[in-house]
DNA sequence: TTGTATGCGTTATCAA
DNA sequence: TTGATAACGCATACAA
């Protein structure tokens, strides 16, 4: 594990470390011949500056931390994909952390990434998280961070989310236009901001078409697969004619549960979900979907973060960016219409 | 971004940094009262050792690098999930890198992770990669690494893969037992080890049932979605009665292409693919699948890596671990049989 | 039991 | 134009 250091070069060339350092950094105040010599030798020996030493000196790491509830989730893995691509081009590394939907792990993870001197943090909250003091703490310590997807009103920092309201509105409206009126809404934990926004979009669409809101048609589910089936039973007891689900897992769980009960789609019920493109591609033909712009959310979030980092300012603007969703309507096997919202 | 350092504690308590350091590390040779004082103060000030300083000193980072072709891929994100869970419990961080299937990026990434002083590397080769000198280089420099999934015979290091031969054999045999005899095999680039293994399993099953191998029934595809459809056309011209695809993307692409051409499944053709559980859950009912044990591969790989790191030895044993696959056979809507191989 | 000095790799400051 | 020295935060060999 022996790397070439500046010291090695200095010794070999009978120079001081400072001269070598300057030569490598292309400083002006240096003899051209010396410079050439150093660069040549460094090249030949495959010299690479030690990023750890640099981090210690500069008190930064050129790395950003990403905290997500789960990597093995299409939405987050696509978001990370977007994040990594941009960060890489800007010379930053990405360190991934998973909270596994656990509040405690999220707290530990935030602290660890701070200790690791990440230059900034991208975070999507664990479903368990309601107390946000760990975030206030790092904010107070001056670590820039951007929240994405699972955000909270209680923290004043830039946020990037899908336009959940518009997406839910479009989905619900689509179902209504198909003639459905008892639209069940199966969604994720109620305290998440995205849940509220989607619910609001759902309600707004109902209202537009003068359909009364029936809270018996709304069910909140956790993220475990086994929770879904009983909720579908509950909802079926309310004799809905459509399902609008708030995540891909719910959509798929719902799909499976309906099949199991021999409920035909789309004759008896229509089904529409919030999913992302990868999943949307796999869906059974009759299912339309609101596509979450996962990758774009990641990209926009990391861009805002890098801006904060490089301008070294808290946050020029701490608003929420809403990335448009797309509604993909499938009549039979083919997507026949893709419309932006 | 002001963190408490040992120096701060020393100053506040009128001690030397070495005393504080020793107290924090629970050294014996120290006054119990002093120790208590230090620990208490450190606790109160939320002291956290600076991992960067530690890395510089100890020339290690308690981080492992993971290089995958793509994060936004169910197989790899599940593998990373398995890796992260274990690494976390053992006190290691995971730094993710994507090669984006590019040889050049893989090389750069390997060098960067070495420069970052990762304690070890888990790597799955980019499809473009055939020259392995970058790996030989880090091997020679003493950086331990484990290859998983996409490995190469040419490197002598521990490897963890799915039992591709057995999986392909079981898949093919299943199709044969369904009465199929012209089984098309659509697979990934031919130079990847997993491709060869799967092809071998396919051929072995044919041989067992005295079905002649027809190379016109085998097609190699890259990882782009648009490549698939023409290949399916090619294969259909050979009038196959079944498809065995070597990855989930191919399976899904193939499925879509067949639907588009109104080829009915499973009447006209049977379809079986190599996928992982998450994807398997989404599949259209008639499609059986060989499940890749993604998470387990990640877990086993990281365990072997940590073993190498902590024993500080090159590699006690550089063999290949084959993780069993499972064949999930779906007759109609339900998986009716799950058998281990 | 505690303190002093040194080094990990780098750069910035000051001196030559 | 170049060199010596200190500093980043920590651990440790050695001195007291």
pLDDT at A340: 39
> Cβ separation of B72 and A295 shorter than 8 Å?
yes
| Chain B residues 132-191 within an 8 A CB cutoff of chain A | 141-143
Q: Which residues pair with B302 in a beta bridge?
A: none
Q: How far apart are CA A164 and CA A160, in angstroms?
A: 11
Q: What is the pLDDT of residue A337?
A: 37
Q: Is the pLDDT of residue A64 over 90?
A: yes
Establish if A52 touches chain B: CB-CB under 8 angstroms: yes
Model confidence band, residue B226 (pLDDT cutoffs 50, 70, 90): confident
Give the DSSP H/E element, type plus range, for residue A41.
helix A32-44
User: Thinking of the domain B57-160+294-320, which architecture would CATH place it in?
Assistant: 3-Layer(aba) Sandwich (3.40)
Global confidence as pTM: 0.85
From the list B56, B49, B2, B3, the residue with the least C-alpha distance to B23 is B49
Round to a whole number and report the distance in Å from the CA of B59 to the C1' of D10.
12
- H helix or E strand, kind and range, residue A319: none
Amino acid B104 CA to nucleotide C9 C1' distance, rounded Å: 28
pLDDT on residue A321: 94
B35 CA: nearest nucleotide by C1': C1
Which nucleotides in chain D lie closer than 7 A to a protein CB? 1-13
Determine phi and psi for A65, rounding to 5 degrees. -95, 145
d(CA B187, CA B183): 13
Euclidean distance between CA atoms A234 and A52, whole angstroms: 56
CB A101 within 8 A of CB A126: yes
Q: pLDDT value at position B332?
A: 40
Say yes or no: Cβ of B46 under 7 A from any atom of strand D.
no
Distant-in-sequence, close-in-space partners of A36: CB < 8 Å, separation ≥ 6 = none
For B227, which DSSP code?
Answer: G
pLDDT of B117 strictly over 60: yes
**Over 50: is that where the pLDDT of A333 sits?**
no
Min Cα separation B96/chain A (Å): 6
Is B51 near chain A, with CB under 8 Å? yes
Of residues A135 and B285, more confidence is placed in A135
User: What pLDDT is attached to residue B280?
Assistant: 65
Look at residue B339 in the predicted model and tell me its pLDDT: 44
Contact B313, B97 (CB under 8 A): no
8 Å CB contact between A266 and A243: no
Give protein residues whose Cβ lies within 7 A of nucleic acid chain C: A 3, 5-7, 17-18, 21, 24-25, 48-50, 53-54, 56-57; B 14-19, 22, 28-31, 33-35, 53, 56-57, 59
Q: A91: pLDDT confidence band, cut at 50, 70 and 90? A: confident
Q: What is the pLDDT of residue B78?
A: 92
Give the span between the Cα atoms of B326 and B274, in whole angstroms: 10
Most confident of A269-273, A283-287, B57-61, B322-326: B322-326
Q: Is the peptide bond before B256 cis (omega within 30 degrees of 0)?
A: no
CATH of region A164-292+327-333, choose from 3.50.50.60, 3.30.420.40, 3.40.50.2300, 1.20.1280.50: 3.40.50.2300
Strands, DSSP E only, in chain A?
63-68, 93-98, 120-123, 145-148, 159-162, 183-187, 218-220, 242-245, 270-276, 288-292, 320-323, 326-330, 335-340
Question: Is residue B195 within 8 angstroms of chain A, CB to CB?
Answer: no
Give strand C nucleotides closer than 7 A to any protein Cβ. Answer: 1-5, 7-13
Confidence of residue B250 (pLDDT cuts 50, 70, 90): confident
- In percent, the amount of chain B with pLDDT more than 90 equals 51
Specify the pLDDT at position B285: 53
Q: B306-335: per-residue pLDDT in tens? A: 999 987 655 567 789 999 999 888 764 334
Looking only at the bridges linking them, the beta strands covering B145-148 and B120-123 are parallel
- Lowest mean pLDDT, pick from A37-41, A324-328, B252-256: B252-256
pLDDT band at A334 (very low <50, low <70, confident <90, very high): very low
pLDDT, average across residues B250-270: 80
Q: What is the pLDDT of residues B159-175, one digit of tens each?
A: 999 999 999 999 999 99
Closest-CA distance, A60 to chain B, in angstroms, reads 9
A295 contact to strand D (CB, 7 A limit): no
Q: Determine the pLDDT at residue A267.
A: 73
Which stretches does DSSP call E strand in chain B? 63-68, 93-98, 120-123, 145-148, 159-162, 183-187, 218-220, 242-245, 270-276, 288-292, 320-323, 326-330, 335-340
| pLDDT score at B312 | 64
Mean pLDDT estimate for chain A? 86
| CB proximity list for B268: less than 8 A, separation 6 or greater | B241
pLDDT at B331: 60
For chain A, say whether B324 makes contact (Cβ under 8 Å): no
Give how far B209 is from chain A: nearest CA, Å. Answer: 33
pLDDT at position B87, please? Answer: 92
Position B205 scores a pLDDT of 97
Residue A163's pLDDT is 95
CATH 3.40.50.2300 domain position(s) in chain A: 57-160+294-320, 164-292+327-333
Q: Which of A46, A71, A281 to mutate to test the interface with B (most CBs of B within 10 A)?
A: A71
Is A174:A329 a contact under the CB 8 Å cutoff? yes
Check: CB of residue B266 under 8 Å from CB of residue B286: yes
Distance of alpha carbon B68 from alpha carbon B95, whole angstroms: 11
Q: In whole angstroms, what is the distance from residue A62 CA to residue A41 CA?
A: 26
CB distance B50–A115 less than 8 Å? Answer: yes
Q: How confident is the model at residue B336 (pLDDT cuts 50, 70, 90)?
A: very low
pLDDT of res. A229: 86
Residue written as token pair 């809507």: B333
Average pLDDT of chain B is 87
Alpha-carbon distance of B68 to A55, in angstroms, equals 25
* A contact residues 260-319, partner B, Cβ 8 Å cutoff: 260, 278-279, 281-285, 295
Query: What is the reported pLDDT for A226?
Result: 81
CB contact (8 A) between residue A95 and residue B98: no
For B208, list phi and psi in degrees, rounded to 5.
-55, -35
Contact assignment for A52 to B61 by CB distance below 8 Å: yes
- Compute the average pLDDT of residues A301-320: 81
The predicted structure's pLDDT at residue B173: 94
Confidence of residue B178 (pLDDT cuts 50, 70, 90): confident
Q: Looking at CA atoms only, how far is residue A206 from chain B in angstroms?
A: 30
Mean pLDDT in residue range B50-75: 91
Strand partners, B320: B159
Report the pLDDT value the prediction gives residue B335, as an integer from 0 to 100. Answer: 40
Q: In chain B, pLDDT over 70 holds for what percent of residues?
A: 91
Which nucleotide has the least CA–C1' distance to B8? D9
β pairing state of B183-187 and A218-220: unpaired
For residue A122, give every residue at least 6 positions away whose Cβ sits within 8 Å of its Cβ, in sequence order, or none: A64, A65, A66, A67, A83, A145, A146, A147, A148, A298, A301, A302, A305
Structure token digits, residue B310: 């902590």
Contact A115 B259 (CB under 8 A): no
Cα dihedral A306/A310/A314/A319 (nearest 10): -40
Position A281 scores a pLDDT of 63
What average pLDDT does the segment B285-305 reach? 89
Is B48 in contact with A278 (Cβ distance < 8 A)? Answer: no
Mean pLDDT, range A254-271, rounded to an integer? 78
State pLDDT tens for residues A128-181.
888 999 999 999 888 999 999 999 889 999 999 999 999 999 999 999 988 899
């Amino acid at each position: 594990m022996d790397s070439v250091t500046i010291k090695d070069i200095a010794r070999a060339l009978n120079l001081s470390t400072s001269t070598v350092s300057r030569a490598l950094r292309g400083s002006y105040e240096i003899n051209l011949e010396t410079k050439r010599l150093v660069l040549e030798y460094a090249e030949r020996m495959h010299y690479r500056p030690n990023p750890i030493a640099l981090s210690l000196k500069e008190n930064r790491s050129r790395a950003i931390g990403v905290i997500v509830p789960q990597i093995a989730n299409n939405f987050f893995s696509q978001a990370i994909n977007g994040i990594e691509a941009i960060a890489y081009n800007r010379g930053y590394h990405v360190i991934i952390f998973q909270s596994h939907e656990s509040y405690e792990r999220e707290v530990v993870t935030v602290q660890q990434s701070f200790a690791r001197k990440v230059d900034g943090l991208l975070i999507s909250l664990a479903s368990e998280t309601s107390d946000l003091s760990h975030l206030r703490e790092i904010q107070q310590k001056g670590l820039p961070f951007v929240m994405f997807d699972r955000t909270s009103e209680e923290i004043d920092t830039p946020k990037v989310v899908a336009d959940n309201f518009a997406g839910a509105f479009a989905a619900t409206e689509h179902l209504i236009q198909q003639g459905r009126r008892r639209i069940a809404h199966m969604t994720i934990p109620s305290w998440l901001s995205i849940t509220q926004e989607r619910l609001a979009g759902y309600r707004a669409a109902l209202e537009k078409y003068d359909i009364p809101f029936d809270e018996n048609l709304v069910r909140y589910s956790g993220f475990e697969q086994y929770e879904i089936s009983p909720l579908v039973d509950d909802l079926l007891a309310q004799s809905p004619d459509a399902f609008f689900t708030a995540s891909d897992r719910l959509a798929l769980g719902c799909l499976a549960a309906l099949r199991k009960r021999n409920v035909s789609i789309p004759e008896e019920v229509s089904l529409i979900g919030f999913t992302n493109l990868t999943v949307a591609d796999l869906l059974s033909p009759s299912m339309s979907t609101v596509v979450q712009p996962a990758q774009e959310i990641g990209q926009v979030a990391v861009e805002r973060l890098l801006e904060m980092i490089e301008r070294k300012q808290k946050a020029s603007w701490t608003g929420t960016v809403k990335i448009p969703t797309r509604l993909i309507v499938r009549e039979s096997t083919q997507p026949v219409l893709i419309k932006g919202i």
